[in-house]
Structure formats: structure tokens, C-alpha cells
């Protein structure tokens, strides 16, 4: 007999449903989420119910009954689980294709969340690149190759945005170029370039952030984590086209080598940029990724900051 708490959906509020602030009704070994006619509101209610269930101490729940679709189950999972929780959602047993897709979404999300929430001691430019490479080598070993251009090699290659932003850190900045090419053809076109901001810690530089503004800046590489998770999910779904993943990785720190207000950065394409705020570093590093995507001839480009 399953120890999971069964979660049902209903549009008929039971007589005991009296609290307008709650959309959950508990019964013996089960709970019901009361829905309305507006599906967007239903998804909000389901996610809120997931948070409420987490707060009650439940550790395993099951989407039971016949009214669950993929989006509703995902909303429940998003409310019930977090980076550190060991909670588990058992997907609805009546829809195996949805369960397979939801498993893929869950694993890709866990990967992105873990990257984003690790401390800056654990995630710095090279360790971020290595974790991403390791993940994709395990996921698609025969279709992935990668290069991490770091430190002075960035300057030699012309990637001056990443180099300039990250040169003051003890951890060398770098550009990760990960090539997912399941075609087996080295000349296959690059269908998409995914570019992510990988600022593994952002002090603001000489335009320094206040202490409270710096607290969450271990997460300033969330763009890199997001596009990495997106590619992970696409591969799990059976992606059969070539994609380049470009992560622009640096720590924005302060020392005698840090870039300063009034500095001029000359990019690979000859464009010059004057720095008027060292805490606007994201656009400076992403510019290198965008130029790299252009060099690869990517048919479409998707970039993500934080």
C-alpha cells in the first residue's frame, strides 16, 4: 500500500471548505485542491497547494484521479519541491508520456537549481564550466565536445569583455564553448546558440554593491544555469540538431587590476565601449558570447542573464 498522500482535483467545494485563503481540503489519506474555471488561476492554486503541503511535513504526494495534465502536475511539483528538499511527487499513473516528460523536466531543473544555489566557494568560472561539461558528457557522451578558454588566452582570442570583467579575481575568467552535435557531421550547421551570463560572484566592482545587495550574488550565474538546463532538457527530449552552449564566466571582484570607471574596452569586432558602471558587467561579458555565436553562424541565438 502506498504511503504517498493522494492529491485529487475537484471543482466542487465540499461543505467543509470554508476558508477562502485555502484551496486544500484534507480527508483520510488524501487531500483535494478546489479549482475554478480560470486555468491560469488553477495553476497558481495548485502551486500554492504544493507549498502548503510541504509546510505540513508531507514528504511524498501523488497526483491522483483523472484531472491532471502535464502543466498541473508541474505546478504541483514546483510548489512542493525545492533545491534542498527530499520531497517526492509521484506523477499521475494514467498518463505515461506526461510522466516521462515530467521526469526530464525535473532532472533538468534540479541541475539548474543546484548550479545556481551552490556557494561562490564551490562555483567559480572554471568549476562552473567543469560541472557543466561533466553533466553533458554523462548525458550524451558521443555527441559533446567542449573547450574552456580562460585567463590570458581570452585576451589572445579577443574575448575582451569576459577578460576585463574577471581579471581582478583569483579565479581566472573564461568562455565555455560546448558543442552538442548529434549529427556526426563536423560541418553540420549550428541551429541554435545558447548564451548564458556566468558571473559566479558579483561584488559590483568599483561600483560596489551594498552588503544586502551582495548577499544573493552567488546566483548571478543564473543565466548560465538556465541555458544549461534548457539544453539538458532538450537532449533528454531527443534533440537531433547541433547546438552551441556558450557560457561567459567571470567573478566581478576588486583589486589593483580591476577594471575602472572610464576604462575603454575594445571588442573583437572593433567596437569600443566606455565603462561608466562596473556593476553593469553582464552586458560586457554577454557581448563576447554574442560575437562568438555570430562566428559560428548560428541560425538563432537565445541569451539569458539573471
pLDDT, tens only, 69-124: 999 999 999 999 987 778 999 999 999 999 999 999 999 999 999 999 999 999 99
In a domain? residue 292:
yes
What letter does residue 170 receive in the DSSP assignment? Answer: S
Share of the chain above pLDDT 70, in %: 96
Q: Which of 30, 113, 137, 209 is catalytic?
A: 209
Query: Are the CB atoms for 183 and 253 separated by under 8 Å?
Result: no
CB-based contacts of 247, cutoff 8 Å, min separation 6: 128, 129, 132, 175, 176, 178, 195, 196, 198, 224, 227, 228, 289
Q: Are residues 179 and 293 in the same domain?
A: yes
In a domain? residue 36:
yes
Q: Among 61, 94, 127, where does a domain finish?
A: 94
Does pLDDT of 17 surpass 60? no
Query: Is 165 strand, coil or helix?
Result: helix
In a domain? residue 64:
yes
Any idea what the CATH number is for the domain that residue 289 is in? 3.40.630.10
Q: Are residues 161 and 195 in the same domain?
A: yes
Does pLDDT of 1 surpass 60? no
Q: Which of 100, 257, 283, 299 is catalytic?
A: 283
pLDDT tens for each residue of 169-217? 999 999 999 999 999 999 999 999 999 999 999 999 999 999 999 999 9
In a domain? residue 237:
yes
Query: Are the CB atoms for 219 and 114 separated by under 8 Å?
Result: no
Confidence category of residue 20, pLDDT binned at 50, 70, 90: low
Does pLDDT of 62 surpass 50? yes
CA–CA distance, 268 with 104 (Å, rounded to integer): 38
Structural domain containing residue 35? 5-94
Q: Looking at residue 28, what is its pLDDT?
A: 84
CB-based contacts of 229, cutoff 8 Å, min separation 6: 108, 109, 111, 112
Query: Are the CB atoms for 259 and 267 separated by under 8 Å?
Result: no
| 241 labelled catalytic | no
Q: Are residues 263 and 146 in the same domain?
A: yes
Q: What is the mean pLDDT of residues 251-271?
A: 97
Q: Are residues 268 and 184 in the same domain?
A: yes
Whose cell is 552551441? That residue is 244
Q: Looking at residue 233, what is its pLDDT?
A: 98
Confidence category of residue 236, pLDDT binned at 50, 70, 90: very high
Q: Computed over its alpha carbons, how large is the radius of gyration of the chain?
A: 23
| φ and ψ of 237, to 5 deg | -80, -5
| 283 labelled catalytic | yes
Q: What is the mean pLDDT of residues 10-23?
A: 68
Q: Are residues 240 and 293 in the same domain?
A: yes
Q: What is the mean pLDDT of residues 221-242?
A: 98
Amino acid at each position: 500500500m502506498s504511503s504517498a498522500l493522494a492529491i485529487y482535483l475537484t471543482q466542487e467545494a465540499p461543505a467543509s471548505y470554508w476558508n477562502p485563503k485555502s484551496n486544500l481540503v484534507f480527508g483520510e489519506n488524501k487531500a483535494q485542491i478546489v479549482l475554478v474555471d480560470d486555468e491560469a488561476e488553477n495553476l497558481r492554486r495548485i502551486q500554492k497547494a504544493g507549498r502548503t503541503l510541504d509546510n505540513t511535513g508531507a514528504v511524498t504526494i501523488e497526483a491522483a484521479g483523472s484531472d491532471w495534465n502535464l502543466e498541473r502536475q508541474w505546478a504541483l511539483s514546483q510548489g512542493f519541491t525545492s533545491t534542498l528538499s527530499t520531497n517526492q511527487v509521484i506523477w499521475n499513473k494514467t498518463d505515461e508520456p506526461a510522466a516521462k516528460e515530467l521526469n526530464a523536466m525535473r532532472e533538468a531543473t534540479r541541475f539548474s537549481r543546484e548550479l545556481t544555489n551552490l556557494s561562490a566557494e564551490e562555483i567559480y568560472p572554471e568549476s562552473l564550466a567543469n560541472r557543466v561539461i561533466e553533466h553533458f558528457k554523462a548525458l550524451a557522451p558521443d555527441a559533446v565536445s567542449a573547450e574552456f578558454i580562460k585567463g590570458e588566452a581570452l585576451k589572445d582570442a579577443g574575448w575582451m569583455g569576459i577578460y576585463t570583467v574577471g581579471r581582478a579575481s583569483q579565479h581566472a575568467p573564461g568562455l565555455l564553448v560546448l558543442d552538442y552535435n548529434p549529427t556526426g557531421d563536423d560541418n553540420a550547421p549550428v541551429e541554435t546558440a545558447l548564451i548564458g551570463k556566468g558571473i559566479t560572484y558579483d561584488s559590483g566592482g568599483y561600483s560596489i554593491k551594498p552588503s544586502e545587495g551582495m548577499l544573493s550574488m552567488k546566483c548571478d550565474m543564473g543565466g548560465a544555469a538556465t541555458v544549461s538546463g534548457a539544453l539538458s532538457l532538450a537532449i533528454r527530449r531527443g534533440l537531433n540538431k547541433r547546438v552551441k552552449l556558450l557560457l561567459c564566466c567571470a567573478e566581478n571582484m576588486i583589486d589593483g587590476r580591476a577594471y575602472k570607471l572610464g576604462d575603454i574596452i575594445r571588442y573583437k569586432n572593433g567596437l569600443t565601449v566606455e565603462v561608466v558602471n562596473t556593476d553593469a558587467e553582464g552586458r560586457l561579458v554577454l557581448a563576447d558570447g554574442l560575437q562568438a555565436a555570430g562566428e559560428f553562424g548560428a541560425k538563432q541565438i537565445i541569451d539569458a542573464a539573471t
